[in-house]
Chains A and B, each alone.
Chain A
């Protein structure tokens, strides 16, 4: 099992604040994906990062893949209540036979 540890586990912030979620592993990943999940639904893909050092932006969300491809971060600028949800990083195993999820970060944005 290739573990993906996310921090923080829970985050509650006021609307308009900025936040960063971290996804760390001791293993190298060929790619990492970030998903957002709402209660009772399946995860929805936000972004895929492939190249070490890569930075991708999706409106107010900025994703970065570590140079060594062992970690990633998600930064949200000026958080809004609609950003509330469970954020998950995930990636394929070295063999490609498994697809593992991080431990998850539950974000609540208070209006």
Chain B
């Protein structure tokens, strides 16, 4: 079946560091990928829609300059948390589907901890 790989699975770093998270679709091409943030025991909050070859679409309240998204190929989207601070600590998850109207396949998430 379709598989989405997310890397790294866990990051612990100092405040002020920029962190890059990769999301790859392994056996299908994804023109669109989604990035979510999840707090403990809460649902997934959509941060942005990553579009291959064009700018990402950010949800209201999500800082574009803080969360940089690049979707340079049909199988790879990256989320960079720039100058991360403790309040950016969270579980970040990406998803991809062959179309946005089809079920999404999820990476295993990245646990980001900023000290």
Chain A interface (Cβ < 8 Å from any Cβ of B): 1, 6, 30-31, 33, 35, 40-45, 48, 86, 88, 90, 92, 96-104, 106
Tell me the complex Cα distance, A95–B68, Å: 23
User: B111 near A: Cβ within 8 Å?
Assistant: yes
Q: Which residues of A contact B95 (CB under 8 A)?
A: 42, 99
Chain B interface (Cβ < 8 Å from any Cβ of A): 4, 6, 32, 34, 36, 41-46, 49, 57, 59-60, 91, 93, 95, 97, 99-101, 103-109, 111
Tell me the complex Cα distance, A92–B105, Å: 13
A101 near B36: Cβ-Cβ < 8 Å = yes
User: Chain B's nearest CB lies how many Å from the CB of A12?
Assistant: 13
B43 near A102: Cβ-Cβ < 8 Å = yes
User: Chain B's nearest CB lies how many Å from the CB of A48?
Assistant: 5
Q: Which residues of B contact A102 (CB under 8 A)?
A: 43
